[in-house]
Chains A and B, each alone.
Chain A
Amino acid sequence: MKAIILSPGLDESLLPFTYDFPKAMMPVVNKPILLITLLELKSAGIRDVKICLHHLPEFVDNYFKDGSNIGLNISYSIEKEFRGSGNSLFRIKSFITDSIIYISGECISNIDFQNLADYHRSHNAIATLVTSNDTLRELNVKEGLLDLNAYDKIMNENLFYDILIIERAGVDQVRKEDGYKLKNHLIPDMLQTGLPVYVKGYDSYYSELKSIDEYHDLNMKTVKGEIIFPAIKLNPEKNSSGALILKGKNSKVSSSVKYDGCVIIGEEVYIDEGAELSNCVILNNTYIGKRVEIKNSVNYHQYHYNAEIKYTTLIEDPALFRTYHVVPFKVRLDSWLINSTDRIVSFFALLMLMPVFIIVALLIKIDSKGPVFYISKRLRSPEISKKGSEWYIYMKEKPIKYYVFRTMYIDSDNRIQELTNKYETGPFRKIENDPRVTKIGRILRKTSIDELPLLWNVLKGQMSLVGIWALPTYEAEDLLHKGLKLDEGDLDLSEVAKVRFRGKLGLAGLWQARGRSDLTAEERALHDTMQSVMQNINLRDEKYLGEYSEFKTYKGYLKMLFETFKSVVLRKGAI
């Protein structure tokens, strides 16, 4: 038997904690929900697992990889859109050879899957559904062969678990329709045609974790041993006052911290002097400040949920709660080297270029009316954030003023709209023989000399030598809201483009090094996205992006600088 775990990652019931990662990766007693489920499947003798993902798939993929470290053979189905459980199965039909156990990645239970599989097999069922024994008793339904009437009773109350076993013959009946669900559509279809569908009751724990309270409760009870997951071993430490403490990897707790009840401390957590912790969960990478008192709650970075007053708050005082990361020495060293190189190189480059700048300034003055420099307003380090379901650009500060050599006739910005109508322009769309460009401007652009004054911004520390090209504010907004769409029905790349806004700004980068304006708009967008990805990957995930991981290091930085320099000197297309 193989297993299929469906985890589209769209469940928002544990927000705000799951803003940064999918719910399936929410740790229960310091272990992601999905890990617990996978270990249980392994105990039941299952080896092949397919995980169907949609939102933030990289968190799951990168954590479990091919599954070999937990003794499983895991593969993934990454879905472009989530269109119901039926569609998820239809997409991976060739994986399903005989029977499969299908589980939602966002539920947690300690049901004995081996027992369930045996029950299914011994009854020759085409599908076996699961619910609680209490439900069966209350609704007066007998465990065993299911009929439409009994199915309706349980289904109307939505009391079937998100766990079921189904035969390949059953999967063949899945219709390729949007929103086609297994429990809601396939099962009644099978019942109507008289196929043997069974229901099995359990007294085991099962929860879809629909609230943070439920989550908090589960954590406390598991540490106390009131709920047991046979597949995982817990060794909470018991202190002199009888408190149970579970501590994750790389966490630092000051010796003066006081405990009471059950306390779960995640990975890479730092708890400062004199803090008092009682019946609480502290999630990974959280710093808890000096003398902070935490009771009956779930805590993560700046979020605090109090189980007593049932309220999630955003902690306003960043000194007390903040993100905490153990940064390895190599990373700190690389970042120091990059920063120093930025300052030193830009300082000497500006010094050496001074004579060139003076000549260029004179030429601009002679060539056309107007100032030598053009002040370009570009976003500082734009951040994107999510408010409800809407993304927006979040600017910490005002745009920075960038001084570049003027290459256009004055009033060019006012004519951008006129041009947009005349030519196909937009983010990353460069116009050939742009009539706005002056004669000398054409040469400056071709040689990229016009952008050299940006070295001043590097010296000031506003940007790096290597990073993402700073887009003018209007282009950045366009990109974020429209992607690269020219008209309705055009390919929408806004999701891809958004990634770029997470990166550090810089002069040299992938697209400058690999073809510059010879590239299509899509190719440029992708290079920028990649650049941003490289800067943001966690070093612990070094192997995740293969050789791209290198670019985050000092070696990669130098390589990129050199590649861009070579490309500019060889003049492969202008910026």
Chain B
Amino acid sequence: MNFSISDENGIHILKVNLKRATIDYVKEFRELLLDLIETKNIKKIVIDLSEVEFVDSSFLGAVVSGLKKIAANKGDIKISGLQSPVRSMFEITRLYKVFEIFDEIEDALNSF
């Protein structure tokens, strides 16, 4: 499975089980995220990227689009577990000023 979802006391953890989160998986990811936000009306999501070694701008774009949708519903998406090259992407594109980022899932869950 490329993605897995678990529920931790009402907070949904969307884990990306890909080494390379790229344009090839954007469609699947976008549909999954939209299903959570729009159909299931979930307001608290943590995206766990701890397995991901590389993320491309298409995938990041999809995450941002998700945040835009959930923010309109007064919800939030938090990011957890960034490996060095992925963290660099969040830093240098200034996406760290858009998402709240945590090293550990536990800290991300506590922040809601």
Same complex for A and B? Answer yes
Cα of A166 to Cα of B103 in the assembled complex, Å: 21
* Residue A138 lies at the interface, judged by CB distance under 8 Å to chain B: no
Residue A526 at the chain B interface, CB threshold 8 Å: yes
Interface string of B64-94 (1 = CB under 8 A from A): 1101100110000000000011011111111
- Closest residue to A532 on the B side, CB-wise? B93
Which B residues touch A235, using CB under 8 A?
none
A533 and B93: CB pair below 8 A?
yes
**Are A491 and B57 neighbours in the complex by a CB distance under 8 Å?**
no
* A320 contacts B by Cβ under 8 Å: no
Q: Please, which residues of chain A bring their CB within 8 A of the CB of B39? A: none
Could you give, for residues 534-552 of chain A, a 1 whenever the CB lies within 8 Å of some chain B CB and a 0 otherwise? 0001000001111110000
Q: Are B92 and A495 in contact (CB under 8 A)?
A: no
Residue with the highest number of chain B CB atoms closer than 10 Å, among A78, A80, A93, A498:
A78
User: In the complex, which residues of chain B have a beta carbon less than 8 angstroms from the beta carbon of A11?
Assistant: none
- Stretch with Cβ within 8 A of B (4 or more), from A104-112, A270-278, A286-294, A516-524: A516-524
Interface of B is mostly: helix
Chain B, residues 92-105, CB within 8 Å of chain A (1/0): the string is 11111111111110
- Tell me if A75 counts as interface (CB < 8 A to partner B): yes
Considering the complex, give the chain A residue whose CB is closest to the CB of B70.
A491
How far, in angstroms, from A192 to B22 measured CA to CA in the complex?
Answer: 53
Contact A61:B103 (CB < 8 A) given known A490-B72, A522-B68? no
Tell me if B64 and A58 are in contact (CB < 8 A).
Answer: no
Is B60 an interface residue, CB under 8 A from the partner?
yes
In the complex, what distance in Å separates the CA atom of A91 from the CA atom of B57? 27
B93 to A529, Cβ gap below 8 A?
yes
Chain B residues with Cβ below 8 Å from A260 are none
Which residues on the A side are within 8 Å of B91 (C-beta)? 57-58, 61, 78
Does chain B have a CB within 8 A of A373?
no
Q: Is B111 close to A, CB under 8 A?
A: yes
Would A92 and B65 count as touching, CB distance under 8 A? no
**Contact of B92 with A78 in the complex, beta carbons under 8 Å:** no
Specify the chain B residue showing the minimal Cβ separation from A511.
B57
Question: Does B7 count as interface, using CB distance less than 8 angstroms?
Answer: no
CB-CB under 8 A for A495 and B61, given A77-B103, A93-B110, A545-B85 = no
- Residue total for B at the interface (Cβ-Cβ under 8 A): 39
- B103: contacting residue among A66, A95, A496, A525, CB under 8 A: A95
Contact partner of B107 (CB less than 8 A), chosen from A91, A491, A510, A546, is A91
Q: Is B94 a contact of A522 with CB atoms below 8 Å?
A: no
Residues in A neighbouring B84, C-beta threshold 8 A:
61, 65-66
Residue of A nearest to B55 (CB): A546
Q: Once bound together, how far apart are the Cα atoms of A495 and B64, in whole Å? A: 13
The answer for the CA separation of A547 and B92 in the assembled complex, in Å, is 15
Separation in Å of the B11 CB from the closest CB of chain A?
16
Residues of B within 8 A of A514 (CB): 23, 57-58
| List of B residues within 8 angstroms of A524 by Cβ | 61
Chain B: minimal CB distance from A308 (Å): 39
Interchain CB contact under 8 A, B61 and A76 = no
Output the least CB separation between B42 and chain A (Å). 17
- Is B8 in the interface zone, CB < 8 Å from A? no
Contact status B62-A62, CB under 8 Å: no
* Cβ contacts under 8 Å, B57 to chain A: 510, 514, 523, 526-527, 529-530
Give min CB distance, A485 to chain B, whole Å.
Answer: 10
Decide yes or no: A491 and B101 within 8 Å by CB, A61-B91, A62-B88, A545-B92 being known contacts: no
> Whole-angstrom distance between the alpha carbons of A537 and B9 in the complex?
42
Cβ contact within 8 Å between B71 and A491: yes
Q: How far is the CA of A522 from the CA of B71 in the complex (A)?
A: 14
Inter-subunit contact B107/A94 (CB<8 Å): yes
CB proximity to B under 8 Å, residues A23-77: 57-58, 61-62, 65-66, 75-77
Give the residues in chain A near B62, CB-CB below 8 Å: 523
Most A CB contacts (10 A, CB to CB) among B61, B89, B95 go to B61
- Which residues of A lie under 8 Å from residue B89 when comparing CB positions? 530, 545, 548
A493 touches B58 (CB 8 A): no
Interchain CB contact under 8 A, B107 and A92? yes
CA of A527 to CA of B65, assembled, Å: 13
Q: Which residues on B sit within 8 Å (CB–CB) of A489?
A: 71
Q: Is the CB of A61 within 8 A of B88?
A: yes
| Beta-carbon contact of B106 and A94 below 8 Å | yes
Within the complex, the shortest CB–CB distance from B84 to chain A, in Å, comes to 7
Which residues on B are within 8 Å of A, measured CB to CB? Answer: 23, 53-54, 56-58, 60-62, 64-65, 67-68, 71-72, 84-85, 87-104, 106-107, 110-111
Name A's B-contacting residues (CB within 8 A): 57-58, 61-62, 65-66, 75-81, 90-95, 489-493, 495-496, 498-499, 510, 514-515, 519-520, 522-527, 529-530, 533, 537, 543-548
